[in-house]
Structure 1
Amino acid sequence: KKKKKKKTMEMSLNLASSSTSNSVFLFNPILSGKQLAFPCRHQRIPKRVKPFCVKSSINLSGPRQTLSSNWDVSSFSVESLSQSSSRLPSFEELDITNMLLRQRIVFLGSQVDDMTADLVISQLLLLDAEDSERDITLFINSPGGSITAGMGIYDAMKQCKADVSTVCLGLAASMGAFLLASGSKGKRYCMPNSKVMIHQPLGTAGGKAMEMGIRIREMMYHKIKLNKIFSRITGKPESQIEGDTDRDNFLNPWEAKEYGLIDAVIDDGKPGLIAPIGDGSPPPKTKVWDLWKVEGTKKDNKNLPTEQSMIQNGYAAPE
């Protein structure tokens, strides 16, 4: 028995000595001390390759590559794609937003909220950083929305070094009308079948009396601020702006032009972003419309309660 044990020990030592350089022993603690695992050979790690230099093929002395360089909308017609089957447009070129951005067009086609404002602001800053000498076109079809989100877009428009041209499609109401009027002077346009609506800020207040007072004071601050900006844009006194925005005031494109919110209607033969149609004129107005514009507002204002009557009736809080 002793001789057999010596032989097994010698065999294991020989295996260990022959595979010390290229093997690793794996011992299983569950097995008894007499049983040893067979050695597992490692794969040799390849030697490291020394780095080598490669000359750049990009010409840094040439013109700077921009988002809209080497891009043509007309090349992506059905005929051109059928003729050149080797070159297909990429996913970015098929995306509508990217196609508009390549033409320096930003589209505001929804309610003005924080998410929409973030998207529009990022697009404006991107196009302005790309080329601050070419105009940016902002198409607006929006019913309005948040004042704070709209003021963020307004500040971004004023921050851009490039001129921001605004075009109304469909409806520009509330904050949408404010952004339409905030475009660069001489580059604010309206489509002939669009509508513009201006009014005072809307909002609700709830909770404790102190909290309601804070909310109402904040709304009054926004109202005064918007009236001042509208007065500076249109050149009209703040008192007239406050009276005109007391309730929803709908304007057709020609009335918006007369009011000072836009500079031209694209359909009336003025130079615009789209080829204008000649001999465009505003729709005719009847005498009933003019009488309602003048007399109707006076009668409505007469029936509204004054501040003095509200205090007499006990609606105001006691001091």
Structure 2
Amino acid sequence: MSNIVLPAEWAPQCAVLLTWPHEQTDWAENLPQVETTFLEIAKAVCKYQNLIISCQSFDRLEKIADALHAAGIPPEKVGLYCVPSNDSWCRDHGPITVYDGHTPVLLDFRFNAWGGKFDYEKDDQITTSLLELGAFDGAAIRHIPYILEGGSIESDGQGTVMTTSECVLTATRNPDATKESVEASFKEYFGASRVLWLDHGYLAGDDTDSHIDTLARFCDEETICYVQCNDPSDEHYDALKKMEGQLQAARKADGSPYKLIPLPMADACFDDEGHRLPATYANFLIINGAVLAPVYGVPQDQEAISQLKFCFPDRTIEAIDCRSLIEQHGSLHCVTMQLPDGVI
């Protein structure tokens, strides 16, 4: 029997990891706005736990340190490291941490920017670079020659991994992937005893081929919240109704149904060229004592916060304006990666 456990996101954490945006990325045009968002995330995280930030250059490191100081964040709460990056989607290029027995192990999967859509060579090296710089002083590391992004998987901490077939079966990631081979890989890498597959789900403006963390999330071992669309005229309606039906048919390991909590579909947000942006309330981050919830300045924000309070009654909901993040087709969970207890 495997000793490997992929902890749920609500398990105790030691820190959150961020890869700070910079001028040589697609963030350049709205860098001040997105840095404000990153600073708000940093402030919220540091109320509850530590933070590790990697940034492009020593010049940027000094500016970030000054901004954190001005925001009242104690310097001892933050580790700052200079590591080159292509982009800021830490959820997908960062390490996925498992416990092997009681030892935290960083799984360093290959990252190829969601099937080679963008440049990724620097991002694929960030975890190794941070380890060499001493950022992860309490964990071992395993380099795995398999392409997988953190946003593509959800764990209940009890052996169930939830994922989407549209993402993990794409030939541009692992060409020979089948449901059977993915399940075998998840058993090997995560100690998974079963995989909960979603075959439907779609989010306009999403570059990830339907990452699970944009669509449906475990809130505890018995509860899944998910994006619901009730407007037949919305382009998401058919796919999300099919996803909802699949979730209703899903069963826990003991054969009983999950408790399902819908999150609203946000009013459509568009970029300057009229392309719809992926505004999703499922892209929240669970940390110690709190949930960081993305909001977008639309009427559904308050309903989403209320639903998340219902999902997480024992945690504080910290709303973060993520309108700037969706300009580059991701949101709050996408730019963060939690580190479970023991990694630092």
The bucket for the TM-score relative to the shorter chain is: under 0.3
- Structure in which a larger fraction of residues adopt helix: 1
- Structure in which a larger fraction of residues adopt strand: 2
TM-score, normalised with respect to structure 1: 0.24
When Rg is computed on C-alpha atoms for both structures, the one with the higher figure is 1
TM-score, normalised with respect to structure 2: 0.23
